[in-house]
């Protein structure tokens, strides 16, 4: 059989995405499956049953990473297709889920066609990719790639005050299996989550790498006083200091310009009341840039902004790094494979950097890795209205099928 004629079943893929999308569904659309919540457990249980229905051997590792293996004629190295099924609290159907469920669709297509491969194929769903509830993000792949000790990860406390190890045990995913020992290649299909592909009417993003990411948590301590009786010169206003820091982030991003981005996504004031000067502010700053030196300079400017705000408002503060990932380049040979596969399918392509973080950037430290992007409508993601058209979903999954086969070496049937 000519493997080149193999195509995934797009309707079946969309049906898989919709089924998973019912788990943690939000009224009015969108999904919330924050890591290690009961909603995410529901998604995990569903994924495991779908993996077993496809004849995959399921392994759960000590951080709850899920691996479904389709045996090859040899024991390895494994060709891994992965992503995540946890979401932010206002998530969509596609961020992460597409990469995992398209992997299952690749398996289903090979099963239907009776294709055997030399190398085993592994579908991976990594724990806590989003980093919305527990920081840092990409935590499951980070521990799997030995970038953080399991013991340290289990002690991380969530934004709602829960210990990660306890939450993992509570949902029954503190596994004891080992994940794949040797990975020959890792491919991740993902929605772009930005506007570039749609803007330029390009069907497949050939991702060269991921930009650097730094997350800083800042705790500002002032003094609560009456909003009406206290002259400004006598205040130690944590809320005003936090506002100055947030404004300073916007200024430094605009001054650096180019690809620099910075986000103050969370500010929590205490006591957070209309007529009380805030005694405490806990806030986060997310800085990203493709160039490590520029990201470092931006972080240094952030420190200056923070210190100036503390001085101006007579508050004290402490900072904590929640995530710190350098820019990552993907394996050129795999990037070429993605481009070749897309072109062989007659799809338009564009090489690009990823603005969002992904497990692929962590696995790239362990094995050759690359990513495939498909367009996001209006460039929207981390938003309940996130959408990618079925034709684009199928395009991405067909590229995934092709690059997976190019590495897993089909036994019956040739790849021309
Ligand atoms: O933050 C990110 O880029 C990813 O969604 N964790
Ligand atoms: Mn994602
Ligand atoms: Mn995300």
pLDDT-based confidence at residue 416 (cuts at 50, 70, 90): very low
pLDDT-based confidence at residue 413 (cuts at 50, 70, 90): low
Interval between CA 43 and ligand 2 midpoint (Å):
15
List, for residues 396-409, the tens digit of each pLDDT value: 999 999 999 999 98
The ligand with the least distance to the CA atom of 132 is: 1
Percentage of the chain lying above the pLDDT 70 cut: 99
Is pLDDT above 90 for 4? no
User: What is the model's pLDDT at position 142?
Assistant: 98
Total residue count of the chain as it appears in this document: 416
Rounded to an integer, the average pLDDT of 25-33 is 96
The ligand with the least distance to the CA atom of 355 is: 1
Taking the CA of residue 132 as reference, the ligand 1 atom at the shortest distance is: 6
List, for residues 151-178, the tens digit of each pLDDT value: 999 999 999 999 999 999 999 999 999 9
Is pLDDT above 70 for 414? no
CA distance 324 to 292: 11
Site to probe by mutation for ligand 1, drawn from 128, 131, 190, 216 as the one with most ligand atoms within 8 Å of Cβ, is 131
CATH top-level class of 3-211+327-408: alpha beta
Interval between CA 305 and ligand 2 midpoint (Å):
30
Percentage of the chain lying above the pLDDT 90 cut: 96
List, for residues 349-379, the tens digit of each pLDDT value: 999 999 999 999 999 999 999 999 999 999 9
List, for residues 68-109, the tens digit of each pLDDT value: 999 999 998 999 999 999 999 999 999 999 999 999 999 999
Interval between CA 290 and ligand 1 midpoint (Å):
15
Distances (CA, A) of 240 to 220, 244, 247, 285, 327: 10, 6, 11, 16, 33
Site to probe by mutation for ligand 1, drawn from 134, 353, 358, 381 as the one with most ligand atoms within 8 Å of Cβ, is 358
**Comparing 383 with 412, which gets the higher pLDDT?**
383
List, for residues 204-250, the tens digit of each pLDDT value: 999 999 999 999 999 999 999 999 999 999 999 999 999 999 999 99
Taking the CA of residue 357 as reference, the ligand 1 atom at the shortest distance is: 3
Output the average pLDDT for the chain: 96
User: What is the model's pLDDT at position 2?
Assistant: 75
The residues spanned by each domain of the chain are 3-211+327-408, 212-325
Interval between CA 186 and ligand 2 midpoint (Å):
15
Output the pTM of the full model.
Answer: 0.94
pLDDT-based confidence at residue 143 (cuts at 50, 70, 90): very high
Is pLDDT above 90 for 3? no
Interval between CA 262 and ligand 1 midpoint (Å):
13
User: What is the model's pLDDT at position 296?
Assistant: 97
User: What is the model's pLDDT at position 344?
Assistant: 96
Fold of 212-325: Alpha-Beta Plaits (3.30.70)
Is pLDDT above 80 for 345? yes
User: What is the model's pLDDT at position 415?
Assistant: 53
Site to probe by mutation for ligand 1, drawn from 91, 96, 129, 359 as the one with most ligand atoms within 8 Å of Cβ, is 129
Give residue ranges with CB within 6 A of ligand 1: 129-131, 137, 356-357
Interval between CA 95 and ligand 3 midpoint (Å):
6
Interval between CA 241 and ligand 2 midpoint (Å):
32
User: Which three-class secondary structure string do you get for the chain?
Assistant: CEHHHCCCCHHHHHHHHHHHHCCCECCCCCECCCCCCHHHHHHHHHHHHHHHHCCCEEEECCCCCEEEEECCCCCCCEEEEEECCCCCCCECCCCCHHHHHHHHHHHHHHHHHCCCECCCEEEEECCCCCCCCCCCCCHHHHHHCCCCCHHHHHCCECCCCCEHHHHHHHCCCCCCCCCCCCEEEEEEEEECCCCHHHHCCCCEEEEEEECEEEEEEEEEECECCECCCCCHHHCECHHHHHHHHHHHHHHHHHHHCCCCEEEEEEEEEECCCCCECCCEEEEEEEEEECCHHHHHHHHHHHHHHHHHHHHHHCCEEEEEEEEEECCEECCHHHHHHHHHHHHHCCCCEEEEEECCCCHHHHHCCCCCEEEEEECCHHHCCCCCCCCCCHHHHHHHHHHHHHHHHHHHCECCCECC
Q: Strand pairing of 212-221 and 280-289?
A: antiparallel
The ligand with the least distance to the CA atom of 91 is: 3
């Amino acid at each position: 059989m000519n493997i080149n004629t193999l195509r995934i079943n797009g309707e079946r893929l969309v049906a898989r995405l919709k089924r998973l999308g019912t788990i943690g569904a939000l009224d009015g659309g969108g999904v919330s499956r924050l890591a290690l919540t009961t909603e995410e457990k529901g998604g995990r249980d569903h994924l495991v049953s779908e993996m077993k229905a496809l004849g995959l051997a399921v392994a759960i590792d000590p951080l709850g990473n899920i691996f479904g293996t389709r045996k090859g004629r040899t024991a390895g190295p494994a060709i891994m297709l992965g992503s995540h099924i946890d979401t932010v609290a206002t998530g969509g159907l596609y961020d992460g889920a597409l990469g995992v469920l398209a992997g299952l669709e690749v398996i289903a297509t090979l099963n239907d066609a009776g294709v055997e491969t030399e190398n085993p194929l592994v579908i991976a769903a990594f724990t806590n990719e989003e980093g919305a509830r527990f920081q840092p993000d990409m935590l499951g792949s980070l521990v799997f790639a030995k970038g953080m000790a399991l013991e340290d990860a289990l002690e991380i406390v969530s934004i709602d005050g829960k210990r990660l190890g306890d939450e993992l045990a509570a949902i029954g995913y503190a596994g004891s299996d080992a994940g794949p020992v040797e990975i020959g290649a890792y491919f991740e299909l993902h929605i772009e989550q930005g506007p570039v592909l749609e803007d330029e009417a390009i069907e497949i993003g050939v991702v060269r790498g991921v930009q650097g990411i730094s997350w800083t948590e800042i705790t500002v301590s002032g003094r609560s006083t009456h909003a009406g009786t206290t002259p400004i010169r006598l205040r130690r206003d944590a809320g005003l200091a936090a506002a100055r820091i947030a404004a300073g982030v916007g200024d430094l991003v605009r001054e650096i310009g180019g690809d620099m981005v910075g986000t103050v996504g969370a500010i929590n004031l205490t006591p957070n009341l209309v007529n009380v000067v805030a005694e405490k502010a806990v806030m986060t700053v997310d800085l990203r840039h493709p160039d490590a030196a520029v990201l470092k300079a931006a972080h240094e400017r952030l420190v200056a902004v923070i210190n100036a705000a503390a001085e101006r408002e007579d508050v004290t503060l402490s900072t904590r790094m929640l995530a710190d990932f350098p820019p990552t380049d993907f394996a050129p040979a795999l990037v070429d494979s993605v481009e070749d596969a897309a072109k062989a399918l007659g799809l338009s392509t564009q090489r690009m950097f990823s603005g969002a973080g992904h497990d692929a950037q962590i696995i790239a430290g362990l094995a050759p890795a690359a990513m495939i992007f498909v367009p996001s409508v209006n460039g929207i993601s981390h938003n309940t209205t996130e959408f990618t058209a079925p034709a684009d979903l199928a395009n991405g999954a067909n590229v995934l099928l092709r690059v997976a086969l190019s590495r897993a070496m089909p036994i019956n049937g040739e790849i021309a």
